[in-house]
Chain A
Amino acid sequence: MATNTTTTQAQTKAPFPPFQGETFPSQIFWLVLCFVALYVLLSRVALPRLGGVIAGRNAKIESDLETANRAKNESEAAQASYEKALADARAKAQALASESQAKAAAEAEAQRKQLEAGLKTKLDAAEAQIASTKSAAMSNVRGIAVDTAGLIVERLTGKAPAKQSVERAVDAALH
């Protein structure tokens, strides 16, 4: 019982652990040892390694971005030159088309004129023939009319009229 009381008294009298001065040397000894070891290992080995990895990644990302940028510029230039070539070709084709159109139109015009001239000569010839045919027919008609009129007058009067007066009368009727 007595020992029990003394131990509890000793326990209550024991200082608060963080203020037990006799533990300080050990704590500080280990803290110095551990912290110096930590500092040396981190600053000499671990942090350069970690920083190197991060710097390496950043450099890689930067160079990749640069490459991508260059490729983008190249493709843009290629597209621009393609578009230019396309526009050139289109303009050339248009020029060619209008030129050939004009040429075809001129050719067609010439052909048409030639054709018209041919037709006109043919038409003139035909008209001349028609006129000659018509005058021939008319002279035939006059002969027939003179004969017929002479005969009619002879039958009516019993006396053949003078050929000249019949001809005059027919001409007057025809014209």
Chain B
Amino acid sequence: MAADPIAQFQIKKIMTLGHIGPYEIALTNSAVFMIAAVVFIVGGIMLAGRNIIPGRAQSLAEITYEFVAGTVRSTAGNEGMKFFPLVFSLFTFILVLNMFGMIPGFFTVMSHIAITGALAALVILTVIIYGIYKNGFKFFKLFWPSGVPMFVMPLIVVIEILSFLSRPLSLSVRLFANMLAGHITLKVFASFIGLLATSLGVAGWLVGILPFSMLIALTALEFLVAFLQAYVFTILTCLYLNDAIHPGH
């Protein structure tokens, strides 16, 4: 009866599409959810009305738009608005996939390090490439803070480089670990109920109320985490983009 709490993260192959070099490319449950998220986001915006007084769907789309635009503007300034489509794509993609993951039986795409790692790499590569394109050599002032005494400079530079290198790591691991741990916890508490019921009978059903109420609270917490992690990823992306736009503290 005790369901494997890890089984929910298993990537299931639906059909093999072909090979790129030695690598097999297959349509998987993960891919289906990503496609669904794209359809959901783009369809949601396109099907929302264009009225002066918005309906529910239009309000939701507009609130999301204003929210992301406000986040970008407040952290990266007006210059950062050129990255608004990228930040909006990241936020909605992560948020919708996390929310899909909250539906029982659905797959949580962001619980895979390959996905979060690739997204983090996208962000960091954007920062580095745009930073060098925009500021040239000045971009490396990021590691050379002004107003620091010369004798501590080597230490500061090493710390700055290490902190920069740790960014993609923390960005990807934070999202991946949060989604993974949360869903494992939910599964473990849910399987307690089944375990108690099968092993203790009626008494087990009664005692099962405890993990069940815990499960309800955890589910609410997980919804918060699903939103919060999408937001954290977004705001950190904006902060890093701000470094690329304005290097040198």
Contacts and interface: CB of A to CB of B under 8 A. Distances in A.
B25 A29 contact: yes
A47 to B, nearest CB: 6
Interface stretch (B6-14, B144-152, B238-246): B6-14
A25 B38 contact: no
Contacts, number: 125
Contacts of B10: 17
In terms of DSSP, what is the predominant structure of the interface of chain B? helix
A113 to B, nearest CB: 82
B89 A50 contact: no
Interface string A49-87: 111011011001000000000000000000000000000
Contact of B93 (A16, A20, A38, A43): A38
A28 B114 contact: yes
B78 to A, nearest CB: 15
B52 A26 contact: no
B128 interface: no
Contacts of A35: 89, 93, 119, 122
Interface string A12-41: 000011111011111111111011011101
A27 B10 CA distance: 12
Which of the four size classes fits the interface of chain B? 35 or more
Contact of B28 (A19, A30, A54, A57): A30
B139 interface: no
A102 B181 CA distance: 103
Contact of B114 (A18, A54, A60): A18
B112 to A, nearest CB: 5
A46 B25 contact: no
A49 B50 contact: yes
B26 interface: yes
Contacts of B46: 45-46, 49
A97 interface: no
Contact of A30 (B31, B41, B52): B31
Interface string B190-209: 00000000000000000000
Contacts of B157: none
A42 interface: yes
A25 B93 contact: no
B129 interface: no
A27 to B, nearest CB: 5
Contact of B34 (A19, A31, A41, A45): A31
Given A42-B85, A43-B85, A29 B113 contact: no
Interface string B99-142: 00000000000011111001100100000000000000000000
Interface string B1-24: 000001001110100000010011
Given A20-B11, A31-B114, 19 more contacts: A17-B9, A18-B9, A18-B113, A18-B114, A24-B114, A25-B24, A27-B11, A27-B114, A30-B30, A31-B115, A32-B118, A34-B93, A37-B38, A39-B86, A41-B38, A42-B92, A49-B46, A54-B66, A57-B52
Interface of A: 16-20, 22-32, 34-35, 37-39, 41-43, 45-47, 49-51, 53-54, 56-57, 60
9 contacts: A19-B113, A20-B11, A22-B24, A31-B114, A31-B118, A35-B122, A42-B85, A47-B85, A49-B46
